[in-house]
Amino acid sequence: MKLILSEEQQFLKNTAQNFAKEKTPVKHFRELRDNKEALCWDSNIWKEMVELGWSGILIPEDFGGSDFGIGGISVIMQELGKTLTPSPLLATSVLGASTISMLGNKDHKSEYLPKIVSGKITTALAIDEGSHHNPFNVETSAKLEGDKWVLNGKKVFVVDGASADIILIVARTSGKNGDSNGLSVFITNKNSKGLDISKISTADSRNYANIDISNLKLDQSSLLGEKDTSGEIIEKILDLGRIAISAEMLGNTEEAFEVTVNYLKERKQFGVTIGSFQALQHRAAKMFCEIELTRSAVLAAMHAADENSNELERLASLAKFQSGETLHLVSNEAIQMHGGIGVTDEHDIGFYLKRARVAEQLFGTCEYHQERYANISGF
């Protein structure tokens, strides 16, 4: 496996890099936060992303997308991660598009996928129910009563759940809590009677929600795929999400490191730049090595997904683990090396620490993926 980008992926990366620098610098994120933007992202910026075709990268050409693969959208998220750009790309163009593409029938795909491509709708995948990520820890029930599915339960920490037009709900149609079998996915509008969506506040000022589901009645056509059989596909969809968020976390890490190194070259103490201190050089060198290792892990996972490799699960967990460990290290070191100014709101470096602490939790912590990797590898 070659750990390099293709010519097309490099082109996408360059386009995203220019877009982030010109349209969404960190100043843009700060303005969204300070203005308490309800969506937590800029709808005009999202329209521009849609016009660039980013919303349809994982969607088949038959439905208006480019079907360019997880590698394509990951390099975009990596560049947007450098400027902390909030957008519906992860929840809609990765999780939502993949769920409908993999589980939906022809009618579902025809109805929803073109709308994702055109930016008419955004989506959210509602899966977690506890304080720790566990895709099979599902107690939300779905029972067929007459000609209607009736859903009851709760979902927590739903990415973009407060702004999404369409909610994809993972529910248990058979089996017991913890089983991978017996899971099904339902699609519904955010305004459906029986859904109570509550926006929650997080350190990274992004869009998340808790959702209470009480006697939500859905037509039989709302079921995506076959009843009871979605567990394995849900795990694959989550792996794509893990790779994409790992790429964003890599971008967060790269920028935090670059800002910190530049600061070491400028800040003077005792008449010399602090970057001349050997102890700080050693710490910077360690960060550099960890970033290179993370870049390789993310690239390997991207290629595994696009090549439909049997290594997808293992490499997705490796990427999420490594990106989490490295971002945690670099965000901590960035604050420490900046000193007192690093913990002030006036300096941007603190945003990377806040984003790191939330991103580390998404779709499984480092500990979760360390254990998963070991189990898959037979340790």
Nearest to 186 by CA among 146, 145, 226, 154: 226
Q: pLDDT by residue (tens digit) across 279-315?
A: 999 999 999 999 999 999 999 999 999 999 999 999 9
3-state secondary structure of 211: strand
- Sort strands 268-269 and 141-145 into parallel, antiparallel or unpaired: unpaired
The single residue listed with the structure tokens 């060198």 is 285
Cβ–Cβ < 8 Å for 240, 70: yes
Measured CA to CA in angstroms, residue 317 lies from 70, 239, 256, 323 at distances of 15, 8, 23, 10
Measured CA to CA in angstroms, residue 180 lies from 96, 132, 230 at distances of 20, 17, 8
Query: In this structure, what token pair is assigned to residue 245?
Result: 């968020």
Nearest to 213 by CA among 227, 232, 192, 230: 192
The single residue listed with the structure tokens 């521009």 is 48
Task: Decide: pTM greater than 0.95.
Answer: yes
Residue 40 scores a pLDDT above 90: yes
Cα angle at 204 between 322 and 197, to 5 degrees?
110
Q: How confident is the model at residue 379 (pLDDT cuts 50, 70, 90)?
A: confident
Query: In this structure, what token pair is assigned to residue 270?
Result: 């005792």
- CA dist 126 and 162 (Å) reads 11
Cβ–Cβ < 8 Å for 82, 255: yes
Confidence at residue 171, expressed as pLDDT on a 0 to 100 scale = 98
- CA dist 24 and 44 (Å) reads 11
Identify any residues that bridge with 198 across adjacent strands, giving them in sequence order.
Answer: 210
- CA dist 321 and 325 (Å) reads 6
Measured CA to CA in angstroms, residue 159 lies from 60, 218, 220 at distances of 24, 22, 26
Residue 223 scores a pLDDT above 70: yes
Residue 276: partners with Cβ closer than 8 Å, 6 or more residues away = none
The count of C-alpha atoms lying within 13 angstroms of the C-alpha of 178, restricted to the half-sphere facing its C-beta, is 0
Q: pLDDT by residue (tens digit) across 42-77?
A: 999 999 999 999 999 999 999 999 999 999 999 999
Q: pLDDT by residue (tens digit) across 72-101?
A: 999 999 999 999 999 999 999 999 999 999
Residue 2 scores a pLDDT above 80: no
Domains of the chain, earliest start first: 7-121 (1.10.540.10), 124-229 (2.40.110.10), 232-377 (1.20.140.10)
